[in-house]
Structure 1
């Protein structure tokens, strides 16, 4: 038992400590509390001392004092509450929770304690229990704005956003100036796609406190979401001035600058963010901006650094994969994208990227599987369906292809967006279908692309022609174009090649570079920069050789760098674009009367629209039949078209031809092993032994041309004909049987055959095609006569007359310029 004098002395010191605390003499109060406790261990002294320390935010000592009080009075609500507050303030909500509950067990009507319990539960990741606690708190203190705000946070984390919004509004009805509720409500409505409402909330925040960075950040984010680029930059810049050392406002400003096209300033801000916060996700955004500046090495370094710190960063893996694919490193891209989809298998965009990389790597099977995953995750996503159709065609996987194609065509005719026009060329569609799809695609590609300024450039009287392509290397388009470029009249035409593709260091690349007056490599330039470079050169007629095929840079054309822009050779169909003025064709590919199916003005060349190179070398040595995998005897039907051009209906015809010509074989091109397996299965289903299909692997062009000598008859495809492959066959003396199709892509072989002087090899129905092919296989003398005519045509036909083609094309350019030239141009 305490001595009465000691107890009295302790009580006196206690009273003095409380008085000193009230008068602000904190240090003296601490000493007095300690002296009192040295004399007597009293619960009230501990509680008051704990309150003093808590008021000073000395939570560690405060906790120890409250814990001492709790030992003396285990049922004391005040002691439990002090311990709870101490644990909670030190970031230990799980330890605080039982003490809050102990308080509430004895005093269940304390709304503030229920609120604190809710916060502790929320911080432990238990929002449903936190909601219960907040609602109990509000039962006792319904006018407390802070508790309404906390309830809203819990509801939002439970994905009950409508209820969360209502709770924030309840908080603001109690306190219209509750800044946190305003800010959180603004973020909620912005995420719900209501940027104008978020803007109004941000304006309220700024009016209440112009020095609050959060209000300006909300304004910047709302303007950014609404596409008001200038306002987004201005508001975000104010937030940065208010908090220059906070990486969050700087990150927002960088995003706003990037969206406004102010790329250099955006890069500087992203770098500033990383200076403040090295592990910030801004590293990924900066990498994307560097990619826009074609700084691939810098982007790769940033991405790899970000992944070293955050190996589970899905977006970084995705962008790394996209970057590696853009650098034509598809195997490395596949590895990165497989990491991305493993981390987030429910994101269809990751699977779509994986499919694209697999396609680039010529890995058809994983591409098909990835596209099927996209379809399961996002059934209404049109690009995935279109790509799946195309990839299954590349693999000759026809098992469910008719249904997929029917679905694709139905969506396209219903006005679907995101259907790449190129994929429709090999499907049975009409010219009207192809124009409608191309027009939708062109609008998507041109959206947000401003026209570049075309400065006045002094000329020398020659017409300046620019050829834009990604295929100025070993490629089918280059094989066709090389001699034409060499034979342009330099006195009348200034010719520039604009390359957006790889430099493969090949002899063809060197030949093309030497063939033109200027060869400009734009591969590492942005679309905008590339367009400005073309405009600065004063090009009169820009000829696009890509259309909507792989690696096209349509945005360059959408920026209108030349006054006249032409679609030719690379894309056998309309581009449906108001930034393309002319399509070059001939009377076979676009017959008179079909102009309405083309958005461009149709200009026809007098012979075939397709150039040819009569200098294409054919290897002197002809491989033996055994070298080619062919039997020693028997008729050889062949088709070296890309496998995606083959169709089940066409294969039915070929199977009947094989059955009708004993000992015959069908020689096909197949760079992908899936093709051989699938086609052999299809052959067996049609009563043809699988060994009667022979597959030709890729070979250098001269060797590939030489092996044509071992074939007897080339069978064309429909609805997409042989184009360069038909020219190859005719150049080697191999007759081609074709069926005239309903669209440009299905009429090219007819144009080639009519120009080379063999119109009798053009049929107008699949039945006639089959009859003609069978008749030729059974009539060696007639076939020999056709081959002899082809030998003569190598020197006599307009198809292989490079000088004549160059003059015809130049006459067309002159006529186009006279029709479309800007007013007042004297040329």
Structure 2
């Protein structure tokens, strides 16, 4: 049948061609030929015939709409827009307005298209195509809220519009209204069970809500539908990794990378997974490849973060970090704008904090008490620039303790800089360093006259625009590590604030007294562990042959790997005690089985060490030539336990043997540890806040006097004299 119809059409075309040849100035003949050619999808020739017909007889107004539609179909959008405008001179028609709007949207001129799209809806308020055209113009302008409202109108007219239901979900997803988005995606898959993207994005919405099990179920279904889709494999693998299923995540991500060796998403997720598993060298190689494939400040920061965990060469670590500034900041330095801030040395300072971690995160445990202490301080007004959308009770508490709280997750650096300058920020403080979701490229633009980094990262930013690094006096001892920073070092009397968990269980007796042997322990995240760390600890276990080793906070896929690493060092499985990740109270109670904690290297810990000390457990740590290795010393030195810190491997082992032979001393120390912490300045936010406020004032005075940044120190005695 199709062959007969095609033959008939060809016959018509031949007939109309003869008519045009016989009467070349007959507009109707050209029009009929043009229409036949368009029907046969010979668009270019058909369009030419319609144009010729209109040249011969401009009064053939109906042809204008047909010509415009043909140009749109032929993707000749500029010509189509002109043709629709000409047609609209003669008729105010919904279809013509819709065609003009669609042409302009395809030319990426959505704002120009909006009036025509709205007029189409005015003329045909119940037309679904007109409403969808309006949605397209609003979406093209990034107006997701109004786009969602239009899709709701479409669905009110016809609930069976599955594509509109999916698009509504997409808008809600972009608006971070994930509960509503999930309902839309669920409605889509109810009608189209094989709708891959609905399953995929429903999973991603669940992931945003931290509903990882539901997310995995949706993404697994998407993988079943399209097993070799790299993007979906990456989403699935990354979600497995976030949920702690590392042993399942790695092969999924390797499959994605085998399909597309340069896939940014696969490289990023697999690097993260390998890093979490303690496979530092592979993670480092993947992150270097990622930086080649996707050369951005964000991927460069990821590389540096991994490097800080495994690099023992201070020159290499410093060179790599300084290279970040040269690569991403150098071109911006010539564009730095002056700062008109009032140089009054004693006025109230507007202090801004930039972070993505102001929720239930380790950074917040340090910074939230400072915000609370500084809330009533007339010397400073705190402004927060929050680079995240996650909100919880801790976020809300911090928001109540600052003068201004501004979300900037959806702002680019240009808009964020304008906002910070408009707020007149005097001192802008980074709380991320090279950790995830940092805004270091924003700092590289120098939006504030004084800029500093604090708390969020163990090392330098590498930026010249970062004037200072604020740190505890024992984190960067005077004369040590100074050349590893582009920033000038500001040493504070207390920069390692620790407030215990209110729900912490009481301290128990030293388990070695009951067991008859010493139990070492580690509760650090596995990404701080490696073959070298395990080999180091194994030497200690060989020197104390009856000792046990407890490993806490483990995720799926990590425990077997650590067991293998210990066995390769001659430590059998029966000497290891494995404890899974647990809620805070249970995690703290796991310290009941530990006599002495061990700190990893070269990236040590702080919060983990503080929790152990509160449970009466000291930490034995080895510092090294890079600054990240020194974090473990801070808590211990503040408590007068500096003898637990060493730089020498042999001394480290001898200390462990000494402790195993002096359990009564450990027992007494355990029972007095909380009092020791209470008597130190670690648990006094007001001291830390006063030290920070004085440091900020010293930095400000230098700027007011036209002086550049220089090393500064705030001594405890200065705080006492100020209070007097």
- Is the TM-score greater than 0.5? yes
Deviation at 1:795, TM superposition (A): 5.6
1:424-439 superposed matches below 5 A: 424-427=304-307, 428=310, 430-434=317-321
Unaligned runs of 5+ in 2: 15-31, 53-66, 312-316, 333-339, 707-724
| Equivalent-residue separation in structure 1 for 2:139 and 2:459 (angstroms) | 35
Aligned partner of residue 585 in structure 1, secondary structure = strand
Q: Conserved in 2, the CA contact under 8 Å of 1:665 and 1:693? A: yes
* Structure 1 counterpart of 2:236: 354
Deviation at 1:679, TM superposition (A): 1.3
Deviation at 1:774, TM superposition (A): 1.0
Larger Rg: 1
1:526 to 1:684, Cα distance in 2 relative to 1, 3 A: closer
| Equivalent-residue separation in structure 2 for 1:762 and 1:414 (angstroms) | 41
| Equivalent-residue separation in structure 2 for 1:579 and 1:114 (angstroms) | 74
1:248-397 superposed matches below 5 A: 248-278=129-159, 279-396=161-278
| Equivalent-residue separation in structure 1 for 2:286 and 2:360 (angstroms) | 36
| Equivalent-residue separation in structure 1 for 2:48 and 2:260 (angstroms) | 41
Q: Conserved in 2, the CA contact under 8 Å of 1:713 and 1:737? A: yes
1:404-427, CA deviations, whole angstroms, 9 ceiling, x for partnerless residues?
532422543787346273564233
1:688-746, CA deviations, whole angstroms, 9 ceiling, x for partnerless residues?
21122222334554664565465444332233211211233445554434444565544
1:494 to 1:659, Cα distance in 2 relative to 1, 3 A: same
* Structure 2 counterpart of 1:200: 78
* Structure 1 counterpart of 2:72: 183
| Equivalent-residue separation in structure 1 for 2:302 and 2:702 (angstroms) | 29
| Equivalent-residue separation in structure 1 for 2:592 and 2:242 (angstroms) | 32
Q: Conserved in 2, the CA contact under 8 Å of 1:481 and 1:612? A: no
1:636 to 1:146, Cα distance in 2 relative to 1, 3 A: farther
Aligned partner of residue 288 in structure 1, secondary structure = helix
Task: State the superposition RMSD in angstroms.
Answer: 5.2
| Equivalent-residue separation in structure 2 for 1:234 and 1:559 (angstroms) | 38
Q: Conserved in 1, the CA contact under 8 Å of 2:453 and 2:470? A: yes
Aligned partner of residue 521 in structure 2, secondary structure = strand
1:524-603 superposed matches below 5 A: 527=410, 545=431, 549=435, 567-573=453-459, 583-586=469-472, 602=488
1:714 paired residue among 569, 573, 597: 597
| Equivalent-residue separation in structure 2 for 1:376 and 1:237 (angstroms) | 48
Q: Conserved in 1, the CA contact under 8 Å of 2:13 and 2:37? A: no
Deviation at 1:642, TM superposition (A): 0.5
* Structure 2 counterpart of 1:774: 653
Q: Conserved in 2, the CA contact under 8 Å of 1:412 and 1:437? A: no
TM-score (norm 2): 0.71
| Equivalent-residue separation in structure 2 for 1:619 and 1:693 (angstroms) | 24
* Structure 1 counterpart of 2:718: none
Deviation at 1:577, TM superposition (A): 8.3
1:608 to 1:517, Cα distance in 2 relative to 1, 3 A: closer
Deviation at 1:380, TM superposition (A): 0.8
2:538 paired residue among 651, 655, 672: 655
1:387 to 1:595, Cα distance in 2 relative to 1, 3 A: farther
1:632 paired residue among 515, 519, 533: 515
* Structure 2 counterpart of 1:219: 103
1:501 to 1:253, Cα distance in 2 relative to 1, 3 A: closer
Q: Conserved in 1, the CA contact under 8 Å of 2:245 and 2:556? A: no
| Equivalent-residue separation in structure 2 for 1:662 and 1:705 (angstroms) | 27
TM-score (norm 1): 0.63
1:730-774, CA deviations, whole angstroms, 9 ceiling, x for partnerless residues?
45554434444565544322444555555555555xxx3x32221
| Equivalent-residue separation in structure 2 for 1:558 and 1:274 (angstroms) | 47
* Higher mean displacement: 560-569 or 358-367: 560-569
1:641 aligns with 2:520: no
Aligned partner of residue 670 in structure 1, secondary structure = strand
| Equivalent-residue separation in structure 1 for 2:510 and 2:472 (angstroms) | 38
Number of residue-to-residue matches in the alignment: 640
* Structure 1 counterpart of 2:499: 613
1:623 to 1:803, Cα distance in 2 relative to 1, 3 A: same
Unaligned runs of 5+ in 1: 1-95, 105-109, 117-142, 154-166, 187-197, 447-453
